Amino acid sequence: MRIIVRGKNVDVTPALREYVEKKVGKIAKLLDDVTEAVVTLVVERDRHMVEVTVPIGGRLLRGEVGSGDMYASIDLVMEKLEKQIEKYKTRLARKIKNGNVLDIAAQHPGTRLETNEPRLVRTKRFPVKPMPVEEAVLQMNLLGHDFFVFRNADTEEVNVVYRRRDGNYGLIEPLP
Protein backbone atom coordinates (compact mmCIF):
# COMPACT_ATOMS: atom_id res chain seq x y z
CA MET A 1 0.00 0.00 0.00
CA ARG A 2 1.27 3.44 -0.94
CA ILE A 3 0.98 6.00 1.88
CA ILE A 4 1.14 9.66 0.89
CA VAL A 5 1.94 11.95 3.83
CA ARG A 6 1.36 15.69 3.46
CA GLY A 7 1.93 18.46 5.95
CA LYS A 8 0.24 21.83 6.27
CA ASN A 9 1.86 24.27 8.70
CA VAL A 10 3.95 21.37 9.99
CA ASP A 11 7.31 19.90 9.04
CA VAL A 12 6.87 16.17 8.35
CA THR A 13 9.98 14.78 10.02
CA PRO A 14 11.28 11.31 9.17
CA ALA A 15 10.18 10.10 12.63
CA LEU A 16 6.66 11.46 12.11
CA ARG A 17 6.46 9.96 8.61
CA GLU A 18 7.63 6.59 9.94
CA TYR A 19 5.02 6.67 12.73
CA VAL A 20 2.25 7.51 10.24
CA GLU A 21 3.36 4.74 7.85
CA LYS A 22 3.49 2.20 10.69
CA LYS A 23 0.01 3.09 11.99
CA VAL A 24 -1.74 3.59 8.64
CA GLY A 25 -0.04 0.48 7.24
CA LYS A 26 -2.32 -1.57 9.51
CA ILE A 27 -5.19 -0.75 7.15
CA ALA A 28 -3.59 -2.94 4.46
CA LYS A 29 -3.65 -5.86 6.90
CA LEU A 30 -7.34 -5.28 7.68
CA LEU A 31 -8.50 -4.80 4.07
CA ASP A 32 -7.28 -6.65 0.99
CA ASP A 33 -8.15 -4.23 -1.80
CA VAL A 34 -6.46 -1.08 -0.46
CA THR A 35 -3.76 0.38 -2.68
CA GLU A 36 -3.34 3.90 -1.35
CA ALA A 37 -3.87 6.12 1.68
CA VAL A 38 -3.52 9.90 1.82
CA VAL A 39 -2.62 11.35 5.22
CA THR A 40 -2.71 15.10 5.79
CA LEU A 41 -1.16 16.52 8.95
CA VAL A 42 -2.27 20.05 9.84
CA VAL A 43 -1.34 22.38 12.68
CA GLU A 44 -3.69 25.31 13.27
CA ARG A 45 -3.16 27.33 16.42
CA ASP A 46 -2.68 24.69 19.16
CA ARG A 47 -4.68 22.03 17.31
CA HIS A 48 -2.92 19.09 15.64
CA MET A 49 -5.28 17.66 13.00
CA VAL A 50 -4.83 14.37 11.14
CA GLU A 51 -6.98 13.54 8.12
CA VAL A 52 -6.77 10.12 6.46
CA THR A 53 -8.52 9.24 3.19
CA VAL A 54 -8.49 5.70 1.79
CA PRO A 55 -10.28 4.77 -1.46
CA ILE A 56 -11.84 1.32 -1.06
CA GLY A 57 -14.25 -0.51 -3.31
CA GLY A 58 -15.52 2.61 -5.05
CA ARG A 59 -16.04 4.38 -1.73
CA LEU A 60 -13.94 6.54 0.53
CA LEU A 61 -12.92 5.60 4.02
CA ARG A 62 -12.19 8.87 5.80
CA GLY A 63 -11.28 9.96 9.30
CA GLU A 64 -10.37 13.33 10.77
CA VAL A 65 -9.29 13.95 14.35
CA GLY A 66 -7.69 16.83 16.19
CA SER A 67 -5.99 17.04 19.58
CA GLY A 68 -3.16 18.86 21.32
CA ASP A 69 -0.54 16.32 20.16
CA MET A 70 0.14 15.07 16.63
CA TYR A 71 1.00 11.52 17.70
CA ALA A 72 -2.17 11.30 19.81
CA SER A 73 -4.19 12.56 16.84
CA ILE A 74 -2.70 9.83 14.64
CA ASP A 75 -3.65 7.18 17.21
CA LEU A 76 -7.18 8.58 17.54
CA VAL A 77 -7.80 8.75 13.80
CA MET A 78 -6.64 5.14 13.46
CA GLU A 79 -9.11 4.05 16.16
CA LYS A 80 -11.83 5.83 14.23
CA LEU A 81 -10.82 4.19 10.94
CA GLU A 82 -10.59 0.74 12.51
CA LYS A 83 -14.21 1.10 13.71
CA GLN A 84 -15.26 2.18 10.20
CA ILE A 85 -13.44 -0.82 8.70
CA GLU A 86 -15.17 -3.15 11.13
CA LYS A 87 -18.54 -1.67 10.13
CA TYR A 88 -17.66 -1.94 6.44
CA LYS A 89 -16.62 -5.59 6.79
CA THR A 90 -19.78 -6.42 8.76
CA ARG A 91 -22.01 -4.85 6.12
CA LEU A 92 -20.11 -6.58 3.34
CA ALA A 93 -20.39 -9.95 5.08
CA ARG A 94 -24.11 -9.40 5.73
CA LYS A 95 -24.74 -8.52 2.08
CA ILE A 96 -22.84 -11.59 0.92
CA LYS A 97 -24.68 -13.81 3.39
CA ASN A 98 -28.16 -12.40 2.79
CA GLY A 99 -27.87 -11.28 -0.80
CA ASN A 100 -28.35 -7.69 -1.83
CA VAL A 101 -31.06 -6.07 0.33
CA LEU A 102 -32.62 -4.26 -2.65
CA ASP A 103 -32.75 -7.49 -4.70
CA ILE A 104 -34.55 -9.27 -1.85
CA ALA A 105 -37.04 -6.40 -1.51
CA ALA A 106 -37.77 -6.54 -5.25
CA GLN A 107 -38.42 -10.29 -5.11
CA HIS A 108 -40.80 -9.96 -2.15
CA PRO A 109 -42.86 -6.77 -2.52
CA GLY A 110 -44.61 -5.64 0.64
CA THR A 111 -42.16 -7.47 2.87
CA ARG A 112 -40.56 -5.26 5.46
CA LEU A 113 -36.89 -6.10 5.78
CA GLU A 114 -35.49 -6.19 9.30
CA THR A 115 -32.07 -4.59 9.10
CA ASN A 116 -30.05 -2.21 11.23
CA GLU A 117 -28.51 -0.55 8.19
CA PRO A 118 -29.56 3.00 7.32
CA ARG A 119 -32.09 3.12 4.51
CA LEU A 120 -33.49 5.67 2.11
CA VAL A 121 -36.66 6.98 3.73
CA ARG A 122 -37.44 10.10 1.73
CA THR A 123 -36.97 11.50 -1.75
CA LYS A 124 -37.32 15.20 -2.53
CA ARG A 125 -37.68 16.70 -5.98
CA PHE A 126 -37.25 20.40 -6.59
CA PRO A 127 -36.25 22.76 -9.37
CA VAL A 128 -32.54 23.54 -9.45
CA LYS A 129 -32.37 27.15 -10.58
CA PRO A 130 -29.22 28.90 -11.76
CA MET A 131 -27.63 31.27 -9.24
CA PRO A 132 -24.20 32.53 -8.17
CA VAL A 133 -22.43 30.70 -5.34
CA GLU A 134 -22.96 33.64 -2.96
CA GLU A 135 -26.75 33.48 -3.48
CA ALA A 136 -26.72 29.72 -2.86
CA VAL A 137 -24.96 30.29 0.49
CA LEU A 138 -27.57 32.91 1.35
CA GLN A 139 -30.42 30.55 0.42
CA MET A 140 -28.87 27.76 2.51
CA ASN A 141 -28.65 30.06 5.53
CA LEU A 142 -32.19 31.34 5.03
CA LEU A 143 -33.49 27.76 4.97
CA GLY A 144 -31.40 26.83 8.02
CA HIS A 145 -29.84 23.85 6.20
CA ASP A 146 -26.26 22.56 6.30
CA PHE A 147 -26.10 22.17 2.51
CA PHE A 148 -27.82 23.51 -0.59
CA VAL A 149 -28.02 22.07 -4.14
CA PHE A 150 -28.11 24.59 -6.99
CA ARG A 151 -27.13 25.17 -10.61
CA ASN A 152 -24.04 27.37 -10.75
CA ALA A 153 -24.84 30.41 -12.92
CA ASP A 154 -21.22 30.62 -14.11
CA THR A 155 -20.72 26.97 -15.13
CA GLU A 156 -24.32 25.73 -15.60
CA GLU A 157 -23.30 22.63 -13.57
CA VAL A 158 -25.13 21.31 -10.52
CA ASN A 159 -23.11 22.22 -7.40
CA VAL A 160 -23.51 21.86 -3.65
CA VAL A 161 -22.55 24.42 -1.03
CA TYR A 162 -22.20 23.22 2.55
CA ARG A 163 -21.33 24.50 6.00
CA ARG A 164 -18.04 23.14 7.33
CA ARG A 165 -17.38 22.24 10.96
CA ASP A 166 -15.03 25.23 11.24
CA GLY A 167 -17.92 27.59 10.37
CA ASN A 168 -16.72 28.31 6.83
CA TYR A 169 -18.38 27.08 3.64
CA GLY A 170 -17.41 24.49 1.06
CA LEU A 171 -18.36 24.05 -2.59
CA ILE A 172 -18.68 20.70 -4.35
CA GLU A 173 -18.31 20.83 -8.14
CA PRO A 174 -18.46 17.87 -10.55
CA LEU A 175 -15.30 16.98 -12.45
CA PRO A 176 -15.39 17.76 -16.20
Sheet holding 47-56, edge to edge: 2-8, 36-44, 47-56, 59-67
- CATH code of the domain containing 74: 3.30.160.100
Residues 81 and 25 in one domain: yes
CA–chain centroid gap for 171, Å, is 15
Q: Report how far apart, in Å, the C-alpha atoms of 128 and of each of 12, 14, 18 are.
A: 44, 49, 48
Report if residue 120 sits inside a domain. Answer: no
CA distance 75 to 142: 39
Residues 52 and 10 in one domain: yes
What element of type H or E holds 76? helix 70-98
Residues 12 and 75 in one domain: yes
The 10s digit of each residue's pLDDT in 97-106 is 666 555 545 5
Exposure of 127 by Cβ count < 10 A (0-12 exposed, 13-18 middle, 19+ buried)?
Answer: exposed
The 10s digit of each residue's pLDDT in 1-47 is 899 999 999 999 999 999 999 999 988 888 877 889 999 999 998 89
Note the pTM of the prediction, 2 decimals: 0.56
Report if residue 116 sits inside a domain. Answer: no
- Domain count for the chain: 2
**Domain span holding position 155:** 130-172
